[in-house]
Amino acid sequence: MFYWLLRWVLVGPVLKAVYRPSVEGAENVPEIGPAILASNHLSYADWLFMPVTLQRRVTFVAKAEYFTGKGLKGWLQRSFFTGSGQVPIDRSGAGAAEGAMLSAKKVLGAGGLFGIYPEGTRSHDGRLYRGRTGVARLALEMKVPVIPVAVVGTDVVAPPGKKLGKLISPRVRFGKPLDFSRYEGMEGDRYILRSVTDEVMYEIMRLSGQEYVDVYASRAKTLDKLSKSGPPPAEDTELKAS
């Protein structure tokens, strides 16, 4: 109930009235049944604008800590994340990555829409980075279609490192569902997983118009920070060399 209250009364109408997001290809999202929505990731606002353009609920995973807080603050935090379509990462006998997969499988197994960011983290410079193969594993193991999604302009609305940016109208584009049933039973083949993931990322690139970089976003961020920090002082270099 709280999800639909946020969607139709509290958050959704405000986002639509202030930012007027546009949507293309919403008809590509099935009215019923499970599917994966694989999106680019430019801003923390992505998970707000993408679901608000659809009639169905979209579920993402969030850190389990958001659901275990105590007191009034914990209750408010838990209520918000649960109500806004987030589910905790299921870490029963698994690490964060496997826990996210378990949570995703529960959503898809119940016939829901599951939202995922294959890049694994936000792009720090607006480019599209190499996808991680979790999206492929999920699609093959659960036998569900993947719908590529491009969210454009959210990095201007809410730039990385800032709470607010410029008042523009973001665009959300949904591509045609990708069917990977030809790879049934091959979810353990890492070459197949990479091939499927690359196909998904190509469609996201085509929809978003972003420049593609065949490097993981997390590594690109680290390299960018190192390049900006400059080389170490001469004495440090000499010490390390010795």
Residues 71-123 pLDDT 10s: 776 666 666 666 656 776 665 655 667 878 888 999 999 999 999 999 988 89
Closest CA to 147 of 119, 173, 178: 178
Let me know if residue 187 belongs to a domain: yes
Domain that holds residue 176: 2-10+23-225
226 pLDDT higher than 90: no
Is 241 inside a domain boundary? no
60 in a domain, yes or no?
A: yes
- How far apart CA 187 and CA 145 sit, in angstroms, is 14
- Domain-embedded: residue 169: yes
Q: Cα(93)–Cα(72) distance, rounded to whole angstroms?
A: 29
The CATH number of the domain where 72 resides is what? 3.40.1130
- What global pTM score does this model have? 0.82
Q: Give the pLDDT mean for 17-35.
A: 91
Percent of the chain with pLDDT over 70: 73
Looking at the predicted structure, is the pLDDT value of residue 187 above 60? yes
Kindly state the helix (H) or strand (E) to which residue 193 belongs, with its residue range.
helix 190-208
Note whether residue 239 is domain-resident: no
- The whole-number pLDDT of residue 93 equals 54
Q: What is the mean pLDDT of residues 215-223?
A: 91
Give the integer Cα–Cα distance in Å for 42 and 127. Answer: 9
Residue that has been written with the tokens 């838990």 in this structure: 78
Cα(196)–Cα(208) distance, rounded to whole angstroms? 19
What is the percentage of the chain residues whose pLDDT exceeds 90?
Answer: 48
Helix (H) or strand (E) holding 116: strand 113-116
Given a contact cutoff of 8 angstroms between Cβ atoms, the answer to whether 208 and 123 are in contact is no
**Euclidean distance between CA atoms 235 and 111, whole angstroms:** 61
98-102, 128-132, 200-204: least confidently modelled range: 98-102
Using the predicted structure, report yes or no on whether residue 237 has a pLDDT greater than 50.
no
pLDDT at 45 over 60: yes
The one-letter amino acid at 64 = A
Strand, coil or helix: 99: helix
Asked whether residue 237 is assigned to any structural domain, the reply reads no
Residue 236 counted as domain residue: no
Is residue 234 assigned to a domain? no
Choose between 11 and 126: higher pLDDT. Answer: 126
Counting the structural domains of the chain, the total is 1
**DSSP letter assigned to residue 226:** H
Higher pLDDT pick, 61 / 27: 27
